[in-house]
Structure 1
């Protein structure tokens, strides 16, 4: 498969290595800052980005840039109708807008708070734990995450996604709180706290606490390799499922859709 990479920082380089190791080709790499990108563009020049992607003959695009530029990139790339996987986080509140844009222009997009296979397995473990704990009101719950000090958004998209998964099964929690408390938390509030430090690839921990004991579930990433592998497999699967008619164009998809029957 011919893949275009929009964003060629550390993750972009890892995505390229992963794609090549799986026997696919990276036909262009596009970035604002990276001197070794095949195409270097000015910040905000989405026309140059789109022109480079289209000229490359790409059959799929992986976008991994920055929360400040992701929406402009999505709006520019979707109309090309080339299957688009977006790894940049920080745009959860714009998903309805993106889904509407996909429907109007016929472009197809897929995203996930975290493409790591291990993290997506962790989601299922957390869901089952919440289903069990939901039977015992004496257990409170909260979530903490830690990432490297270069991460631009806080809390992580994965943490917010985990909280939403948890609250589907832990029904006494219905409100996510990400800032500091100025008063005692209410029983229905699910606290998601964040730390940024050093070079930590990503750690997510969910706590269930009672007067008698504490249960902790933790996912710790050793590197970004899991994310890179999942994103490359996602764009390949999405293209194949579209070609087979198992996915429709003009929609916004998630991990469940491009890995059917797995997650």
Structure 2
């Protein structure tokens, strides 16, 4: 399979290593702030660029009938527009806030736990996410995905980074050098605490999931998620 990497930072380089190990070819590497590039010699694009570049990259793939895997976060205000464009162009699109296979299992655990806790308002819920200092957005896309599922089954109306807002689900975002990604959900009452936590040890899990998604999506049409890839949920 011929893969184009739209974004060739640390994540792009890790994806490259894993893709080559799995016998794929990297036929395009788009560095940061590169506006002009050709898509003629690729079977699928994997976008780990920047929030400012993501929508343009995805749109260009749709216009050239190239399936696109998107792991860039921070641009989701335009997600509905991108989905509409994908359908208009009969394109192929898969976005995930996190491609780690373990994190996607964690999403399902979070969903199940939030449903079990739905009728127990005596528990206060909080979240913490920790990432490396180079991560541009806060909270992480993964944390937002977790929070949105909790909001469906809790007393909170929205999430917030402001701990002073007592009626919202607080997400505590930390940026610490060389931390690949840690996410924790805490249910706390006066009598006990329930916690679930996922800790990434390196970038390899994210990269492997993105390559697996790219392998899965070739030849398909439509809008997909990692649930489709893993056949869960």
> TM exceeds 0.5?
yes
Q: Residue 194 of structure 1 is aligned with which of 170, 173, 181?
A: 173
Matches within 5 A, 1:62-73: 62-73=46-57
Alignment RMSD (CA, Å): 1.6
SS in 2 for 1:4: strand
Which of residues 114, 122, 128 in structure 2 aligns to 1:144? 128
**Following the alignment from structure 1 to structure 2, what is the Cα–Cα distance between the partners of residues 89 and 22?**
26
2:43 alignment partner in structure 1:
59
Per-residue deviation, 1:30: 1.9
Q: What's the TM-score, normalizing by structure 1?
A: 0.84
In 2, distance between residues paired with 1:210 and 1:179?
21
Aligned partner of 2:12 in structure 1 is: 12
CA-CA distance at 1:180 after TM superposition:
4.4
1:92 aligns with 76
Alpha-carbon distance between aligned partners in 2 of 1:180 and 1:171, rounded to the nearest angstrom: 17
98-107 or 158-167, larger mean C-alpha shift: 98-107
Aligned partners of 2:120, 2:232: CA distance in 1, in Å?
30
1:146 and 1:194 in contact (8 A); partners too = yes
In the alignment, which residue of structure 2 is the partner of 1:262? 232
| Match status 1:208 vs 2:187 | yes
How far the C-alpha of 1:132 sits from its partner, in A, is: 1.9
Q: Is the 8 A contact 2:4 2:28 kept in 1?
A: yes
TM-score if structure 2 supplies the norm length? 0.94
What SS class does the counterpart of residue 166 from structure 1 fall into? helix
Contact 2:128–2:173, Cα closer than 8 Å, also in 1: yes
**Long gaps (5+) in structure 1:** 33-42, 243-248
CA contact (8 A) 2:50 2:72 kept: yes
The CA distance in 2 between the partners of 1:213 and 1:227, in whole Å, is 33
1:40-69, Cα deviation, whole Å (9 max, x unpaired): xxx352xx22x2x21xx2111101111121
Describe the SS at the equivalent of 1:232: helix
Larger radius of gyration: 1
Q: Which runs of 5+ in 2 are unaligned?
A: none
- Cα distance in 2 for partners of 1:83, 1:76 equals 11
May I ask how many residue pairs the two structures share in their alignment? 233
Distance 2:205 2:217 in 1: 18
Task: Return the offset for 1:154.
Answer: 0.6
Which secondary structure does the structure 1 equivalent of 2:81 belong to? helix
- CA deviations 1:193-231 (Å, max 9, x no partner) are 211121110010101000112122111100111100000
